[in-house]
Chains A and B, each alone.
Chain A
Amino acid sequence: MKHFRKGDGERSGLFTRRALVLGGAQAVLLTALAGRLYQLQVVETDRFSSMAEENRVSMRLLPPSRGLIFDRAGVPLAVNRNNFRVMAASERGRGVDVLIERLDQILILGDAEKARLLRELRRNRNAQPVVVRENLGWEEVARLEFNAPDLPGVFIDLGQSRDYPEGELMSHIVGYTGRVADEDLAGRDDPVLQLATMRFGKKGVERSLEDELRGRAGAVQVEVNAVGRVVRELDRTEGQPGANALLTIDLDIQRFAAEKMKEHQSGSVVVLDVITGDVIAMVSTPGFDPSTFARGITQAEWRDLLDDPQRPLHNKAIAGVYPPGSTYKMVTALAALEAKVIDPWSRLPCPGYLELGKIKFHCWLKGGHGSTNVSEAIAMSCDCFFYEAARRAGIDRVSDMAQRLGFGKVSELGLPGESAANQPTRTWKQEKIGKAWQHGDTFNLGIGQGYMTATPLQLAIMTARLANGGYEVQPNVLLAKATSREELAPPAPRTKPTAPSLRLNPQHLAVIRQGMSDVVNAGHGTANALRAKQPEFTFAGKTGTAQVKRITEREREMGITQASLPWHLRHHALFVCYGPVDNPRYACAVIVEHGQAGGATAGPIGRDVLIETMKRDPSRRTDRFKKMASR
């Protein structure tokens, strides 16, 4: 037993020593743990705290409510409508294929949509949600909610989508919105544009007022869990809704004008207030249905719109270019008068044609008009008078006068896609055609043919500047804009133009206007049939027929007439007018594409629209706005 005890004592001694070593080692390890805790929780705690915060807190932008658009009386033209939409977000692109398949089973997406979703979800690195489908019905919402457990990252979002109550009627002016494209981002660093639900103006006022209509984004700080689901809201800064806009358009007159254009395939009407430059109506037919863009246009619909020969997407009032024809004759006359190469009483002969070298320049009236002064020449639209007037004034003076009256440049009325058309000059021909200007070119320009082109808007501007006594009035479509609905009101009516004067001799202007009045109101006028029945709506105008294809001598002998040509080769019919004749307020320009004869086709439309405008006199009727606004 003694041996046993002794042996155990030795063992126990060794055990004790080694146990102490082991204990020491454990103490060291424990100290290491404490040191690590100190490092993480004291030394680096700030860094880890901010990382935890980044994990937890996510900033979400609140898309602002887009500003509304009204006509001058306050009738809504573009409004916002509640829109239930399905959104999907994926964590680092995981499980996207399965998710899309399941969504397809519920919503029936189609291959093109599936490909788009796949692309957007893969590209999307920072897990921003993408739009799967908009404008959901109640049944679709219910089906999605029912299947929610199988659809991680999918949620239903209440957003707003754009609605255009007037549809096609206002399609070219109001325009439409679409998804934000890469080129829309250029020069704009507004973060709200990164949102998948955001819409961006693509055409019309939606486009030109985009930066005002959009508003400022609000932001909400939310707490999210590890899969990005929102747990609760921490903080919210409200954004600012976009500004509301009041347009100069009078919807009643716009509708009336569109109604008048209906019987013709393609054309345009512009009505201007000659004092303020307000665009009272602007119709371009055919139009398009902007709601197809609001709900997302299909590839096929888009192709159809693009391929239509009558170009429904094209706003012909500002982007359609046509030879102005006889409506240009006032420019030639005014240039010659101002250059003092003719005076108001000068009579020029018209034997039916003028000869320049070996080329004969015909008047439209075969036997000629005999001798006419300037106002008679306008009233009867004598070509020879204006060949000679242009020849005397010279190209430089004619095109200078044309530019002062608004040709050859964009007016910046506040709509995108405006064309400057072409007001030819010596240098223009040298640069573009590579040939020197010829006398024959001057002859052609004198009657608004040849290289000369203009937009219907430019014709209306010219007419307005002649009518208002020579003031450089600028057209505009925006009457007022304001963020709050209360501040949105039209400016006080004006009766005198505020635009700078063109410094034209009033006597010359009076002669021109006399000629234009005689066109309609004198027995020898080309459009005497159009004269107003009621004296208070007496107006002045000028017809025009613009050549698309020249009918040669030989063809004429073969009996080819305008009516026998195919539609796209027939003449364009033009008419410009203003009224009331002795105190002008409104100017109107009409083009009926391939309408053959200005007086017969475009004339009645111009007369009816102008008289309707004078009847309603939108410039003086602000009470209409007040009535609408107070509803």
Chain B
Amino acid sequence: MSLASMGSPASLDAPAPIGFAEKIWRINWGLVLVLTAIAGVGVLALYSAAGGRFEPWAARHAVRYGSALALMLVVALVHPKVWLTLAWPIYIVSVLMLVAVDVIGKIGMGAQRWLVIGPLQIQPSEIAKVAVILMIARYYHGLRREQAGQFLYTLPPLAMILVVVGLVMVQPDLGTAMMVLMGGAALLFVAGVRIWMFLAAGVSAVACLPIAWSLMHEYQKKRVLTFLDPDRDPLGAGYHITQSKIAIGSGGMFGKGFLKGTQSSLNFLPEKQTDFIFTTFVEEWGMAGALVLLGLFALVVVWGFSIALRSQHHFGRLLALGVTAMLFLYMFINTAMVMGMLPVVGVPLPLVSNGGTALVSVMFACGLLIGVNVYRDAQLPRTR
């Protein structure tokens, strides 16, 4: 706050462009440190998940994080007006990629989330998540206060969200679809959409549940049922969540000790390096370790909120809050899932789970967040 007020007392209308050193100084290095700490937890947990070896996950995770960190810093130094301009193209490209994935998935028979472009395997839904945030932030940046509250003006962003949600859902990737929907809703809420519209949406969503149920795949229905009653099939679909709860619960207050988790090392845990990495970590480090990790995430969220609140432009506020909400949802859905509070939907724990695209997209989003802080007092025209 003090930096912001000190940097622009005399030039309200046209603040002096800031120099490179100033930009570097404005990067939230504390936040970078917290993110690195979280990624460090990831390396630790992946090292343990591999049975005390850097191969095949931990080393690669560290390297990936290093390059993603560089990407984040570059993104953080890009002026928001560039993102304002690129929002549409990014969104359109990501929607096209989602369509491509769906079509290929249809042809290839079966769930398809990947697109192979040259040497890269890209998960378009990860890009779409960020694209939706950029689009909505850009849209509301261009609206006046009164317009934001009007129903008609709510329809375009709603469409932007639902197109992506629909395309992700048919992949089918229920977890990501829910995250885009909830992240979008959070953004609409802070952008000023009236409360009654949320209530109306909630009511109609409940009314649509039976339809959604009938559209769901068999295995998705099974997951929901298993979530509602894990003992229904303790050796089948409920097995994963039961074993995960056993692992977490047996960790106790201070855990079984590094590399001493039995549930993960003896393969009782499924997907221990991806969706269930939290379980692997918590079994060995206990509630103490879990609270430290959750605390680190909470720090990121608090940091995100303060960046959002300090931004002098609406685009920055919404962008920062959208990214923060996305990170929170990622973290919440994953941990709640492995603790049996939500159905198993396949959402990784950001920065900790093994997996390239998610890491890059999260770090890209964090770059946008830090960029908002670097360019917090930039003048952005409201009209497009």
Contact = CB atoms under 8 A, between A and B. Distances in A.
Interface stretch (A10-18, A398-406, A555-563): A10-18
Nearest to B321: A19
Interface stretch (B23-31, B185-193, B206-214, B356-364): B185-193
Contact of B341 (A36, A52, A56): A36
Interface in A110-138: none
Q: Which of B250, B251, B262, B314 has the most CB of A within 10 A?
A: B250
Contacts of B286: 41
Interface string A1-40: 1001001101110111011011100100110111011101
A231 interface: yes
A37 B305 contact: no
Given A10-B145, A19-B305, A45-B252, A226 B328 contact: no
B301 A26 contact: yes
A15 B314 contact: yes
Which 6 residue pairs of A and B lie closest in terms of their CB atoms, listed nearest first?
A: A48-B249, A52-B250, A225-B266, A226-B267, A41-B287, A40-B249
B246 A52 contact: yes
Interface in B266-289: 266-268, 282, 286-287
Contacts of A42: 252-253, 287
Nearest to B189: A18
Given A22-B321, A52-B250, A55-B246, A14 B145 contact: yes
A450 to B, nearest CB: 69
Interface stretch (B75-83, B92-100, B153-161, B290-298): B290-298
A224 interface: yes
A563 B148 CA distance: 124
Contacts of A37: 248, 282, 287, 290-291, 294, 339
Given A26-B332, A42-B287, A45-B249, 20 more contacts: A7-B145, A8-B313, A15-B192, A15-B308, A18-B190, A19-B317, A22-B325, A26-B301, A32-B341, A37-B248, A37-B294, A41-B251, A45-B251, A48-B246, A48-B248, A51-B249, A52-B262, A52-B263, A55-B262, A225-B268
A41 B314 contact: no
B218 interface: no
A147 to B, nearest CB: 22
Interface in B226-241: 235
B317 A12 contact: yes
Interface string B126-147: 0000000000000000001100
B246 A14 contact: no
A12 B339 contact: no
Nearest to A224: B266
B365 interface: no
Interface residues of A, number: 44
B221 interface: no
Nearest to B191: A15
25 contacts: A4-B382, A8-B314, A11-B144, A11-B145, A11-B148, A12-B317, A15-B191, A15-B308, A16-B309, A19-B309, A22-B186, A22-B189, A23-B305, A26-B328, A29-B328, A33-B294, A37-B248, A37-B339, A40-B249, A41-B248, A49-B249, A51-B249, A52-B263, A55-B266, A231-B266
Given A26-B328, A37-B248, A11 B298 contact: no
A10 to B, nearest CB: 5
Contact of B335 (A14, A15, A33): A33
Contacts, number: 135
A81 interface: no
Contacts of A14: 145, 192
Interface in A215-272: 223-227, 231
B4 interface: no
B86 interface: no
Contacts of A41: 248-249, 251-253, 282, 286-287, 290
A55 B328 contact: no
Contacts of B382: 4
B22 interface: no
A125 to B, nearest CB: 12
Contacts of B249: 40-41, 44-45, 47-49, 51-52
Interface in B320-361: 321, 325, 328, 332, 335-336, 339, 341
A262 B321 CA distance: 102
B223 interface: no
Given A14-B192, A92-B235, A7 B144 contact: yes
Contact of B317 (A15, A36, A55): A15
Nearest to B286: A41
Given A40-B249, A45-B250, A47-B249, A56 B262 contact: yes
B330 to A, nearest CB: 12
Contact of B267 (A40, A47, A227): A227
A55 B341 CA distance: 23
Contacts of A26: 301, 328, 332
Q: Which of A29, A37, A223 has the most CB of B within 10 A?
A: A37
Nearest to B148: A11
Contacts of B266: 55-56, 223-226, 231
Given A33-B332, A38-B287, A51-B250, A223 B145 contact: no
A33 to B, nearest CB: 6
A49 B252 CA distance: 8
A11 B192 contact: yes
A30 B13 contact: no
B64 interface: no
